[in-house]
Amino acid sequence: MTDRAKRRKLCSLLPWAAAVLASPLAAAAGLADYKERRVVMYATSWCPYCQQARNYFRQRGIPYVEHDIEKDAAAHRDYKAFGGRGVPVIFVDKRRMNGFSISGFEKIYR
């Protein structure tokens, strides 16, 4: 199967996936809201806990936005403005987590 054919096949599944997530069964299981949470991480490139969080998000298909506080001046200003100390600092909607642990993240994500 060519790459183009694979893309077409995947695109044909999008309406089905959207319908499944919008179904009452998905809502009852909490799946519809699960992917709608906004995850933002303030991090550095060298931090092992930041890398652990990145890996966790990727493995579970959790979309997130990352701001490197050492490379992005605006991200560093925001980090200072909300009183950031240490990395990562992870926001899930309005909930905040300092550092990273799977159990801690799952508590604020669900």
Q: What angle do CA 69, 79, 99 make, to 5 degrees?
A: 80
- Annotation: CATH topology of 37-110: Glutaredoxin (3.40.30)
Which pLDDT value is given to residue 23? 46
Q: What residues contact 53, with CB distance under 8 A and at least 6 apart?
A: 41, 43, 88, 90, 100, 105
pLDDT one-digit tens code per residue, 37-84 = 899 999 999 999 999 999 999 999 999 999 999 999 999 999 999 999
| pLDDT of 16 above 80 | no
Given a contact cutoff of 8 angstroms between Cβ atoms, the answer to whether 92 and 108 are in contact is yes
Domain boundaries, the chain: 1-35, 37-110
